[in-house]
């Protein structure tokens, strides 16, 4: 389960002070001094009981403007400090089952009940309310290839607990898996998220707990979207790039994405099957297993 970080400090900091302090030293969760420094400033920000409410009121008052505020990130997530190369800071809103937004949209809109890991480390603090619940698991990431339906025998349950107000936890990339459950009443967490250039090439998964297997990859990036659009438009250069990526790219996930995009251009099931048959033999176990599944779907 995520590592609990116990830091006692009564000092209070505003958002600018917290961001500046972490920026000065950087945020590397693998370095104990850097991790402790960031956790200390997250504690101090959490001790400031008014900053988030004041910020939200300012944003609501400015909604008549044409431009979208930098801190606006979505209905559940508020970007507090945008990415600066090593980290960013955000606030997450966790409604209870009694909230109208959950009744109207369903728990899946708030990632409730979806077991997943993360392809990045991050610190989280229970800032307001009783905190969301989580069923925590751990997994051996090194054993995972990543195709849908792949067995994950190392997935093991650890405990159910919640992010109480004032509690700080470190979610460890590719190790901690959790299925978040609704808070007993509206709650807010604040996160210091680690960011790196390699993150986009590391996969994040949804897990099927009942079957103890991979449910899906959750971490497609903009490269995948751009590639699919380019191949879909069908220029000679794009198709050449698509075939080269499909056969030789260092990221198995991007190779699969290229095969998907190439297959989507084919209207003839036999042509699709021929593409996926070629994909099975290109040396990637992830692509081979997904190609096998695609061919089975075509055969139905």
pTM: 0.88
Q: What are the pLDDT digits (tens) for 204-263?
A: 999 999 999 999 998 877 888 999 999 999 999 999 999 999 999 999 999 999 999 999
Q: What are the pLDDT digits (tens) for 25-74?
A: 999 999 999 999 999 999 999 999 999 999 989 888 876 555 544 444 45
Q: What would you report as the CA-atom Rg of the chain, rounded to the nearest whole angstrom?
A: 22
Q: Which residue has the higher pLDDT, 198 or 3?
A: 3
> Which fold, 3-217?
Jelly Rolls (2.60.120)
Sequence ranges of the domains in the chain = 3-217, 222-294
Q: What are the pLDDT digits (tens) for 96-137?
A: 999 988 888 888 888 899 999 999 999 999 999 999 999 999
Residues 6 or more apart in contact with residue 136 via CB below 8 angstroms: 1, 2, 157, 158, 159, 160, 161, 176, 177, 178
Q: What percent of the chain has pLDDT over 70?
A: 95
| 281 in Cβ contact with 273 (< 8 Å) | no
Residue 93: is its pLDDT beyond 70?
yes
The whole-angstrom separation of Cα 169 and Cα 203 is 22
Q: What pLDDT shows up at residue 202?
A: 83
| Residue in the block written with tokens 């190369």 | 85
């Amino acid at each position: 389960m995520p590592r609990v970080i116990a830091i006692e400090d009564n000092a209070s900091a505003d958002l600018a002070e917290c961001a500046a302090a972490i920026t000065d030293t950087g945020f590397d969760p693998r370095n104990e001094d850097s991790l402790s420094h960031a956790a200390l400033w997250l504690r101090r920000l959490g001790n400031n009981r008014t900053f988030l409410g004041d910020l939200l009121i300012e944003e609501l008052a400015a909604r008549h403007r044409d431009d979208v505020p930098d801190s606006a990130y979505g209905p559940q997530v508020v970007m507090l400090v945008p990415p600066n190369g090593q980290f960013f800071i955000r606030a997450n809103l966790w409604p209870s089952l009694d909230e109208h937004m959950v009744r109207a949209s369903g728990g899946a809109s708030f990632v409730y009940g979806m077991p997943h890991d993360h392809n990045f480390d991050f610190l989280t603090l229970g800032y307001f309310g009783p905190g969301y619940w989580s069923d925590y698991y751990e997994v051996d990431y090194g054993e995972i290839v990543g195709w849908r339906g792949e067995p994950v025998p190392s997935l093991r349950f650890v405990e159910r607990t919640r992010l109480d107000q004032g509690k700080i936890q470190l979610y460890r990339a590719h190790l901690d898996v959790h299925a978040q459950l609704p808070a007993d009443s509206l709650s807010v967490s604040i996160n210091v998220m680690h960011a790196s250039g390699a993150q986009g090439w590391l996969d994040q998964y949804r897990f099927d707990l009942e079957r103890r297997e991979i449910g899906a990859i959750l971490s497609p990036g903009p490269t995948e979207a751009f590639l699919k659009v380019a191949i879909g438009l069908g220029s000679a250069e794009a198709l050449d790039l698509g075939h080269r990526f499909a056969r030789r790219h260092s990221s198995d996930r991007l190779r699969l994405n290229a095969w998907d995009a190439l297959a989507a251009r084919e209207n003839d099931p036999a042509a699709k099957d021929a593409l996926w048959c070629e994909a099975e033999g290109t040396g990637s176990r992830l692509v081979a297993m997904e190609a096998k599944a695609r061919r089975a779907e075509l055969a139905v």
